[in-house]
Amino acid sequence: MSSESLLRAAAGSKATRLVLEALLSKKSPVYITCDERYGRSLLTAAIHRELGRPTILVVPEPEEAVEAARDLKELLGEGRVKTFPPREVIPYESGGPDERLWQRLETLGILASSGEREPPLVVAPLAALMRKLSPPVWFRKGSGAISVGDKLEVIDFVKKLVCAGYERVPMVRSRGQVALRGGIVDFFSPHSSLPVRVEFSFDEVISMRTFDPLSQVSQAFIESADYIPADEVEKGNIPEDASFIPGGSPPDSPRPQAGEVSLLDFLPEDGILMLSGFRRCKEIGLEMEGIAHEIATSRLLAGTMRPEETLAYFTWEDLWERMSSEVDLVFQGIMHPVERLDPCTIIDVDLLSQTRFHGRWTDFISRLREMTEHGRRVVLLFSSDERQDLIRRRLEEAGVRVLIDSPGGTLEPGNLYLLKGYAQAGVSWPEERLEIFSDAEIFPRARLAPARRRAEGRVPLDWRELRPGDYVVHIHHGIGQYIGLKTITVAGVTREYVHIRYAGEDAIYVPTDQLHLLEKYTSRDGHVPALSRLGSSEWQKTRARAKQAVEKLAAELLRTQAMRKTRHSYQFSEDTVWQKEFEQAFEYEETPDQAKAAEEVKRDMEKPVPMDRLLCGDVGYGKTEVAMRAAFKAVQESKQVAVLVPTTILAEQHYTTFTQRFKGYAVNIEVLSRFRSRKEQKAIIDGLRNGSIDIIIGTHRLLSKDVKFHDLGLLIIDEEHRFGVAQKERLKKLKETVHVLTLSATPIPRTLNMALGKIMDISLIETPPEGRFPVETYVIPYSRPILAEAIRREIDRGGQVFYVCHRIGGMEGAVKRINEMVPEASVTCAHGRMNEDDLARVVRDFLAGRYDVLVSTTIIESGLDFPNVNTLIVENADKLGLAQLYQLRGRVGRRNRIAYAYFTFRPDKYITDKGEERLRALKELQGFGSGLKLAMRDLELRGAGNILGPEQHGFIEAVGFDLYMRLLDKAIAELEGREEEEKRVILAEVNIPVNAYLPGWYIGDEQQRYTAYKKIAGCESWEDVDRVEREIRDIYGNLPAETINLLDVSRLRVALGSLGITAVNLDQRRKALLFKVEVPHLFPEDKFANVARDSRGRIRGSKEVGLIELFLPDLSPEKALGQALSFARELLPRMPGDATHTSCQPE
C-alpha cells in the first residue's frame, strides 16, 4: 500500500501533469530540476506508470543506478523495473559470463519483446551504453520457446543455442550453458531461475522438466520453456563439420562480432528516454573512451588484439549524437545547458532533500507535530517491521497520532503515516504539502536495502572432486595418486576400476563398489605427500599414530566441556526493549546466519554455566556485530566486557568500531594499548578496578597481573590462535567463571563443524551481509594507464586504495611509480618489519583519511576493516597463494559501494607453471568456480588447524584431512558411548559374473562417471539405490544393461547385508547360489522357513550352518542375479519400492 499511496500523490502533482502534457504533445525534451535521488525516482515512477510506455533512465554511476532501481522497484514492483549494468569497468576486460551479463541479456530480451508484456522501466549507468551490441532482430532470432510435442532435431536445437552464445559443457551448472547427452538436452537461459532438461525421442520432445543445477536432480515437469541468447553479440554460423559429441564444443567458434547498435536501439519508437546528470555522464564517457583507446593501442602493438576487436565501444561523441536526438526528459539538480539539447519545456519542481535528525528524537517528534499541524501529509518509510514498531512506540509515548495505512491509497492532509518500504533518502515537496522520511533521516545509521540477488544455481564448493593426478588416501593401503578409471575384462566379465599408483612401480585397481574406502588427500598450503609403499607396515604405523593423537585430542575436548558444565557464572536476563533497539540500529539487513549466531550467543549468556562459544566467519561477514550485541547485553546489567585482540592496530580498529556503534548510549569504552601514555594506562586500569569503564579493548596488555576487573561478565577473544602459550594459560584462568566468545576470521570445513559440534559450541556465519555490491575482479597484465585510471577513479569518489606488493623490497619502487602515475595522490606505506607503534600510526592515519593510497605487503590480509577502501591493486599476483588473494580481495567491498580488485602480472616476466595455474584460477574467483574452491580449501584447512592446534598439523598431513576427520569423529563417538547406538551397515560381497559398470558412451565425462560410482558405492539401503538410479536416469537417459546390472548388484549388497549375509557366490559346479550367513542375529529365520518350504527343495540350509543354497534352473549370470534379488526381497522385513526401471519422477 505504501507504493500505491506515494505513486498516487506523485501522479496527482502539478509537476507530473505538466510533464505528461509536454510529452504527449511532443514538446520534448523536457528539463526538470529537482532532487536527483528519491525525488527523481518518485517522478520517474509516476510518469512511467501514467504513460505506460517502455522507458530507459540513464544515470552517471553504477552505484547510482542500483540505488535508483531499488527505489523504483519499491514504487512500481520488482518485475517492472530492470537494470542494465556495465558489462565491465575496464574496457576489453569483461572476464567471461557473470551476473552482469545475465542481467543485461534479460533486460535486452524484455525490451526486444516489449510489445508482448508489461512495458519495462530500465535503469542504466552511462558506462553500460558504451559497449556495442548486435541488433534487436538478431536477438529476437536467437530467442524462442520449446514445448512438449514439438518436432525438431536434437542437433538443430543445440546448434541454435550455440549460435546464440550458449557454452557447450558436459554438465549445466550456470546460466548460458547447454549440454547434450544422447537424447537429453539441458540448457540454462540467462533470464531463467532454473535450468531446463528436454528429453527427445528421435525428433520429438517427449518430456521437459526443471532441475537443480547443484544436485542435477529434476524438480518439476513443465510443458514449455522460453530462452534468450546467452551473448550480446552475434557468434556467426557454426561450421558444418562442428563436432557435437556429448560434452564437446564446436571447434574454432567465431569470436563475437559487435554491431553498431546500442541499448537505445532496443527502445521501441514510442519509448521514453530519460537522462540524469549530463555533465557527470559526459566525464565518464570521455574517461572510458580514453582508457579504451590506450588499452587498444597497446594491445595492437603487442599483437594481442585484432583490429576489428578495437571497435567494440562507442566514442562519447558517437553515443551522445545518438542519445541527444532521442532524449525526452532531462533531470538536473541545478539548471544548466546541455550540449545539442535545447529544452522545449522547463519545469522547476521543488523536491528538496529532507532534514536529517539521526536519532535526535525530541527534535524529530517536535518537527512531525509542526508539519501535521500545518496540514502536511507526512510519510515515514521503514525497511523493517522492527523499526516501524520502534518508531510507533516512540510516537505513541509522545502522544502523536499515527496511521499504519492509508485508506483507499490516498494520503490525507494533516495525517502522519507509518508505511513499510525502502527509500535511499527522504524528500520534502512543499508545493504538494508532502513530507517523506526514510531510515536515513531518522536513525543514527540508515539501514541499507537488502541486495536482491537472483536465486542462483550455485556450484557446490566441494574441493574433494577428483581429477587424474590428484592424491588419494586408501584406508588400508595409504597415500597414492589417482590415475583414472580403467575398464577391465576378465574371463568375459567387464567392470570398471579406479587405477591408483603407489611408490615405485606399484599400483592397485580398486573396484568401484569399494570407493567408500577411498578419499581425496587434502592438506593445507598445497603440501605434496610422499606416496605409500604397498606391502610396507609404515602406513599402518602412521594411521595408528594419528588415531592415538585424535583420541587424546577428543578426550581433552570432552574433559574441558565436562568441567565447564560444573562451573557457575552470572545468568543474564532475557532481551530488553533497549537490546532490540540497539540491534535495529544495525546498518545492514542481518543475514539468517548472523541472526542465528547472535541468538545462540545470547541464549548461552542466559544460562547459569559459563559460555564458551566459537564464532567462525569469513572476513567482513559480521562477526563483530554479533560480538557487540553480546557486549550490549552484558553492560545493560552492569557487567564489564573485555575485548582481547592480538595487535595494537586491531585494538585501535575495534575501539573505533565499538565507539561508533555504541554512540548515543551511556557506555564508557576505552582501549588499552601502547598508544596510551603511562598516565592514561593507569587511569584506565583504575577505571577497570572501580567499574567506571564498561567495555575495555586491548592487546595482551589486558592479561597483565596489574589489570583487575570490578565485575567482568563477558570476554571476547579475537583470533585466539595468534596468542602465545603464556597468554593462553592466563586466558584459561579468565575463562573459568566468565562467559567467553571467541571470534575466528577463517572458515572451517563442514566435516569439522559436524564432528566438533557434538562437544563444542560453534556458530558459523557463511553468508555476507546484504546490501553489498560484489567486488569487480580483474586479472590483467600490469598497465600504468589502467592502474592510474583506477586510482584516480577511487580518489575522485572520495575513496582510498590498497596497493599490495609481495616483497618489502619492491615497495619503494611501487611508491615511486604511483607518484609518477597519479602525482596528486598522497601515498604512504606499511609492512610487517616496521616497529609496531610506527605501523599502527601509519594505519591510523590512513584510516583517518590522511592518505589516498596505502602501499603494503600482505599485512592487510587479515583482521582489519577499512570501510573507505574500495579499490585493491595487487602487483605480481601470480606470486601469492590463492587463499591470500581471496582474503586480500575481502579487504574491499565492505560497504554499499562497488569495489574493484585488480590482480596484475608482468607479461614480460617468466611465470612458473604454478603461477599460470593460479592466474587461471584467479579469473574464477568471481563466481563459484575452481579458483574459489581452491581458495576456500586452503582457508578451511587453515581454520581447522587454528581450532585443532599446531600439534595436530603433522598428523593431518600424514593421513590427509578427510581420514583424520574420520578418525576424530569415531574417537568422539566412542568416548561418548555413541558407537553401539549407531547402526553399522554391512555390505555383502557379490560374486556373480555379470557386466556391471557405467559405459563411457553413456557417461562420457570421467569425473562425472567417478561421481556416479561414488554415489552408488555410498548407498546403504535399497531405497538409496532406487534414488541414485532415478538421478542417473534423469540426468543421462535410459539405462544400458550394464548399468542396470551395476545398480542391481548394489541393491543386492545392501539387502543381503541387512539380513546378516556377508557374501553370495555363483557356484557353476553345484549350479547354485551360495549365501554366507555370518551375522545370524540379523537373519529372519521365520521368513526363511516359509520361503524354503515354498521353494519345493530349491532352497536349503540354515543360519546355524552359516550357508544357504539356492539351486538354479538357468546358470545365466543375469538370471542368477535376478534370482538372488528376488530371494533377498522375500526375506526383507519391509518390501522396498518397485525396482523396475521406470521413467524419472522429479523429487
Task: List, for residues 584-622, the tens digit of each pLDDT value.
Answer: 878 777 888 899 999 999 999 999 999 988 888 776 778
User: Which residue, 901, 899, 828, 842, is CA-closest to 867?
Assistant: 899
CATH code of the domain made up of 567-763: 3.40.50.300
pLDDT digit string, tens, across residues 49-67: 999 999 999 999 988 998 8
Q: Which of 956-965, 979-988, 1027-1036 has the lowest mean pLDDT?
A: 979-988
Amino acid 144 reads: G
The answer to whether residue 238 scores a pLDDT higher than 50 is: no
Mean pLDDT of 1040-1059: 95
The answer to whether residue 527 scores a pLDDT higher than 50 is: yes
Residue 389, all three cell numbers: 514498531
What dihedral angle (degrees, nearest 10) is formed by the CA atoms of 672, 676, 677, 679? -40
CATH code of the domain made up of 989-1131: 3.90.1150.50
pLDDT digit string, tens, across residues 92-104: 876 556 788 899 9
pLDDT at 309: 84
pLDDT digit string, tens, across residues 292-301: 888 888 778 7
pLDDT at 452: 44
Mean pLDDT of 257-270: 82
The answer to whether residue 650 scores a pLDDT higher than 50 is: yes
* Class of domain 775-925 as given by CATH: alpha beta
The answer to whether residue 312 scores a pLDDT higher than 70 is: yes
Tally of CB atoms within 10 A around 761: 18
- pLDDT category of residue 205 using cuts at 50, 70 and 90: very high
- pLDDT category of residue 1059 using cuts at 50, 70 and 90: very high
CATH architecture of 462-535: Beta Barrel (2.40)
User: Residue 233 carries which DSSP code?
Assistant: S
CA angle (898, 904, 907) in 5-degree steps: 150
pLDDT at 519: 85
Mean pLDDT (the chain) is: 84
pLDDT at 95: 58
The whole-angstrom separation of Cα 971 and Cα 1099 is 43
Residue 869, all three cell numbers: 577502501
The answer to whether residue 756 scores a pLDDT higher than 60 is: yes
Tally of CB atoms within 10 A around 985: 13
Check whether domain 352-442 has CATH 1.10.1280.10, yes or no: no
pLDDT digit string, tens, across residues 1081-1133: 889 988 898 888 888 778 888 777 789 999 988 878 999 999 999 999 999 87
Mean pLDDT of 268-292: 91
pLDDT digit string, tens, across residues 154-176: 999 999 999 999 999 999 988 99
**Cα dist from 723 to 700, 739, 763, 842, whole Å:** 8, 19, 21, 23
CATH architecture of 2-133+262-348: 3-Layer(aba) Sandwich (3.40)
- 46 in helix, strand or coil? helix
pLDDT at 1054: 94
Domain ranges of the chain: 2-133+262-348, 136-227, 352-442, 462-535, 567-763, 775-925, 989-1131
The whole-angstrom separation of Cα 624 and Cα 636 is 18
Q: Report the DSSP pairing between strands 177-181 and 144-147.
A: unpaired
The answer to whether residue 423 scores a pLDDT higher than 90 is: no
- 899 in helix, strand or coil? strand
The answer to whether residue 116 scores a pLDDT higher than 80 is: no
- pLDDT category of residue 313 using cuts at 50, 70 and 90: very high
Choice between 924 and 70, residue whose per-residue pLDDT is larger: 70
Best mean pLDDT range from 550-554, 570-574, 740-744: 570-574
The answer to whether residue 653 scores a pLDDT higher than 70 is: yes
pLDDT at 751: 59
Answer whether 352-442 and 775-925 agree in fold. Answer: yes
pLDDT at 1140: 42
CATH architecture of 136-227: 2-Layer Sandwich (3.30)
The answer to whether residue 456 scores a pLDDT higher than 50 is: no
